[in-house]
Amino acid sequence: MKLIVKTSLHYLWLSLSILIATGTIFYLVLRGNISAEIREQLELQIDMVSNEVKKGHQVIFPLVEVKQLSSNSITPPIFRDTLIYDYLQDEYEGYYYLSEVQVINSKPYSIRVMTTYIGWNEYLKTISLIFLGLTFLLVTAGIVVNYFISKNIWQPFLKNLAILKEHSVQARTNLVLERSDIDEFEQLNTVLYEYADRNRKEYTGLQEFTENASHELQTPISIIRARLESISQLPLKNEAINYVGDAKQALERLSKVNKGLLLLAKLTHDNFPDQQTLPVSAVLTGQIVQLEELFESRGLKLQQD
């Protein structure tokens, strides 16, 4: 997963979490404020009804109920919501009611007033739709802006990454990276410059050691080989002959190591002036023919397709 995709996903989940939490808090606060406002209006209506009763007027208002009680017990006010069936719309409507007992003209009265309100489900649907729209717009805009900003910010890093992929310690040119006004990227460039310089020095030192070692070994190997050949021409005892044979075998192994070092030095210097295209099949066929007797003496059969 690319870094820009990962950051966009983190932004998406963070935005969704914040908006969901904000929407929930907004709904709860709005519900509390509306309930408080409705209760305040109902209390005002009860006061108005109480004044009318004090004046001896008969109160006939919609959604208002006044009853004279037989007992003088005073109960605390009751504020609740309820559902009442609406025959015109053929559905239940949400109502808030406030019921309160007051003593008016030395007589206890129960006064209940009601008012309709938009159901909380409607509030919730409306708030949800608004926040879903805001979520979509904010997240889409955030992802697009984050994509282009991140692409612009990470452009030097991506260029330097491509440069590093093409760079080699064998290259004769120094490493040149894209400059950036971001401190972290500049620190990374500094570390990469130091790393490349250290690798180049280590590679150069290893290259010089390999080349010097291969050249230094050539002369002693040639001298030892010549001396062993001279010794082998002398009349020797069987034990001495075995010693000379062991020395020749060890010398051959050392000679192979030296040839490997020479080849490695040539590879690092790209020192192959006589480069040419060889038919591999023909070369292998010639080698097989030369070694055919050796294979037969060892009981080996080699098939060539």
Q: What is the DSSP string of 226-258?
A: HHHHHHHTS---HHHHHHHHHHHHHHHHHHHHH
**Whole-number pLDDT of residue 168:** 79
d(CA 271, CA 276): 13
Residue 119, pLDDT score: 65
The letter for the amino acid at 297 is S
**Which residue, among 47, 62, 63, has the nearest Cα to 104 in the 3D structure?**
47
Q: What pLDDT sits at residue 268?
A: 64
pLDDT digits (tens, 9 = 90+) for 242-290: 887 888 888 888 888 878 777 776 666 655 555 667 677 777 777 777 7
Global pTM reads: 0.49
pLDDT value at residue 275: 62
CA torsion angle for 149, 151, 156, 159 (degrees, to 10)?
-170
Q: Which 8-state DSSP code applies to residue 176?
A: -
pLDDT at 274: 59
Cα→Cα distances 230→159, 171, 295, Å: 64, 47, 31
What single DSSP character describes residue 302? -
**Helices marked H in the chain:** 3-54, 120-153, 155-166, 183-232, 238-269, 280-290, 292-297
Predicted confidence at residue 65, as pLDDT, reads: 86
Q: In what order do the strands lie in the sheet with 78-86?
A: 64-68, 107-116, 91-104, 78-86
* Location of structure tokens 């006004």: 181
pLDDT of amino acid 294: 67
Q: Measured between alpha carbons, how far is 175 from 190 in angstroms, rounded to an integer? A: 11
- Separation between Cα atoms, residue 284 and residue 267, nearest integer Å: 23
Strands 78-86 and 64-68 turn out to be unpaired
∠135-16-26 over CA atoms, to 5°? Answer: 75
Spans of the chain below 50 pLDDT: none
